Homo-oligomer: A and B are copies of this chain.
Amino acid sequence: MKKVTIKDVAKEAEVSPSTVSRVISDSPNISKSTKEKVRFIMDEMGYYPNAIARSLVKQKTRSIGLVMSRPTDRALANPFFSGVIQGIAAVAQEKNYSLLLTAADNYEDEYQEALKQLKVGRVDGLVLLASRINDDLIKQLLKNNFPFVLIGRSQEFPSIPRVDNDNYKAAFDLIEKLIKSGYKDFSVLAGHKDYVFTGDRLKGVIDALKAHSMNLDPVKIEFTDFTFKSAEQSAYKILSNHKTDALIAFDDLLGMAAVQTAEALGFSVPDQLGIVGFNDHTLVSYLKPSLTTVKIPIVDMGERAISMLIKMLEDSSYTGEEEIISTEIIERESLKFI
């Protein structure tokens, strides 16, 4: 089964390759009759234009690299990433772009890998699911003038093309609402310190408390990674040592761990202890008690990020912008507002 090229089609249709090419792109200055003839032959021969060759001359690949700033295995285990990818994949498909997944064992390699995909011309641009502080990759990208959009926020480079939710405000508003509802003793089960959003949310919490002349006893903050085990331990530390009536977990998974730990310790949720998560992962919302949470439109963020990138790629006068997506508090069973 020899591969059929544009030349084969041309020969068969008794036209030149250029003509076939123009038929493919539906050029207006090819006669209707020729188009029909060529199209017929293409079908008959089972011809598909070679994407690589086309990419070479067009200097565009129509594919986009996806970088997750953490080991892929762990990344994918988190529903957050699945959600983002969902959104990205949907739009990519619709706009006829391919998605190139980049994986690596550690941060450093990951960066290098991603950058390389761009340098070797395999992708036209990058979507960064970066959440870590101190992003060297961004620096590189900027320096090389490579198109990318970040999902999240970079500390060093505040205004770059990105889409994010306002974590500070989300946390701030949440606390205000909690205070209004009469909660007094707050504790937080935070994510990993290295993530930018952890810091942002924490600041939101603290500022909101300050605004009401309260403050968050630092020992009531526990940082943890996203494994269930360590989340349980952290929850245990908080709950067994401190009086608290509202526990804010910076991810639903952490919230879920907190609920279980709390119940194991004999707290009744939400009566004695309210627990609220972040993200609104589908699965977690079905637990008993179902989790009150700050919903972040993850899929939507993915969609917007890639849409922005594609726009940047296709319209050179557009250089991207900052899109902040709003969040929403969803009240379920694990914490009740008045």
Question: Chain B contacts of A117 at CB under 8 A?
Answer: 98
Contact B98 A99 (CB under 8 A): no
Contact A122 B283 (CB under 8 A): no
Nearest B residue to A260 via CB reads B288
Which of A72, A83, A144 has most chain B Cβ within 10 Å? A72
Question: Chain B contacts of A228 at CB under 8 A?
Answer: 282-283, 286
Contact B63 A100 (CB under 8 A): yes
Contact B103 A100 (CB under 8 A): no
Interface residue from B76, B89, B116, B288 paired with A72 (Cβ < 8 Å)? B89
Interface residue from B3, B102, B120, B288 paired with A263 (Cβ < 8 Å)? B288
The complex places the Cα of A63 from the Cα of B65 at a distance, in Å, of 13
A182 contacts the other chain (CB 8 A): no
Q: A55-B52, A257-B286 are in contact. Are A77 and B82 (CB under 8 A)?
A: yes
Question: Chain B contacts of A48 at CB under 8 A?
Answer: 116, 119-121
Question: Chain B contacts of A116 at CB under 8 A?
Answer: 48
The complex places the Cα of A50 from the Cα of B60 at a distance, in Å, of 12
A105 contacts the other chain (CB 8 A): yes
A275 contacts the other chain (CB 8 A): no
Contact B76 A105 (CB under 8 A): no
* Interface residues of A, Cβ cutoff 8 Å to B: 1, 3, 48-53, 55-56, 61, 63, 66, 72-73, 76-77, 82-83, 85-86, 89-90, 92-93, 98-105, 113, 116-117, 119-122, 144-145, 228, 232, 253, 256-257, 260, 263-264, 282-283, 286-288, 299
